[in-house]
Amino acid sequence: MTTAVLSAATRHTTRDSLRQTLALSKRSTWAILRQPALVFPSLVFPLFFAALGASSFGRAVGKLDGLKDVSSFLEFSLASTLAQGVLFGSTTGGTALATDIENGFMDRLLASPSTRVGILVGRLAGGSVFGALQSIFFIVALYPFGVRIQSGIIGAFIMVLSGALIAMSIGGFMTAMALKTGSSEAVQGAFPLVFISLFFSSAFFPRESMTGAFKAIADYNPLSYLVEGLRVLTLNGLTSQAIAQVLMIPIAIGVGSVALSLRQLSKRLAQQ
């Protein structure tokens, strides 16, 4: 009798936690989409860089190492456009969480009988949904300009999934910063570090054409291998190595970032 009651209570608690996490995820997603000032730059600027790169380096296609088998620089740029846009957008979740802390919503949420981990999971899930939507947007936006994904529908799906994972992994760091500082300005101030890490990778140009310190840094930058995996799916087709790169790299980064977020959440809960 007692075992049955405890089992029913556990199922009830789990069901409530899942329901609350889903509600927080929906709120997080809509909070991002309802702020055009945050959404617009993460969609437009990557397309601007793609157009600028195609205009500036289009003649290098077929001539330089890493571009000899490429038919279009714009097609070559799809991987970097997707990664850049998702990295830009990953800061929005952390900024929104910091805003919740600043206006007192976080304190009210913690005072309620809501799931604590669900607060974090809901925020990261909302960012992941936005990252997936961004990936779909870039694929569709560049399609009229001749950009084709050689790995087909399966490859496109994997790229969208990778976009969601990238948003989750980088969003974990931004969420941790929001929980630690409680300042939206601090979270936004961390964005240049994200951009620099992408700039010192092979996102905008192949590593085969790099030399010196720039190449040395790109060789050790995990974002290089992530972008190159996305690039293989776009230009060459499905390969097990490319699939592993675009999925396992953000998952590995996400394990560390989510663990850091959980630690910061525990510290904030201890202060309540």
Q: Are 94 and 171 in contact (CB under 8 A)?
A: yes
- pLDDT value at position 16? 67
pLDDT over threshold 80, residue 67: no
* Cα–Cα distance for residue pair 175/195, rounded to 1 Å: 17
* Cα–Cα distance for residue pair 192/202, rounded to 1 Å: 17
* Cα–Cα distance for residue pair 76/247, rounded to 1 Å: 20
- pLDDT value at position 62? 62
Choose among 161, 172, 181: nearest CA to 123: 172
pLDDT band of residue 64 (cuts 50, 70, 90) is low
pLDDT over threshold 50, residue 11: no
Task: List, for residues 186-206, the tens digit of each pLDDT value.
Answer: 787 777 788 888 889 988 888
Give me the long-range contacts of 54-58 (CB less than 8 A, separation at least 24).
57/205
More reliable by pLDDT, 17 or 54: 54
pLDDT band of residue 180 (cuts 50, 70, 90) is confident
Q: Which residues contact 196 (CB under 8 A, 6 or more apart)?
A: none
Of the listed ranges 46-60, 101-115, 142-156, 192-206, the one predicted with least confidence: 101-115
pLDDT over threshold 80, residue 106: no
pLDDT band of residue 3 (cuts 50, 70, 90) is very low
**For 197-226, what is the mean pLDDT?**
88
- pLDDT value at position 226? 95
- N residues, the chain: 272
| Domain range annotation of the chain | 21-271
pLDDT band of residue 9 (cuts 50, 70, 90) is very low
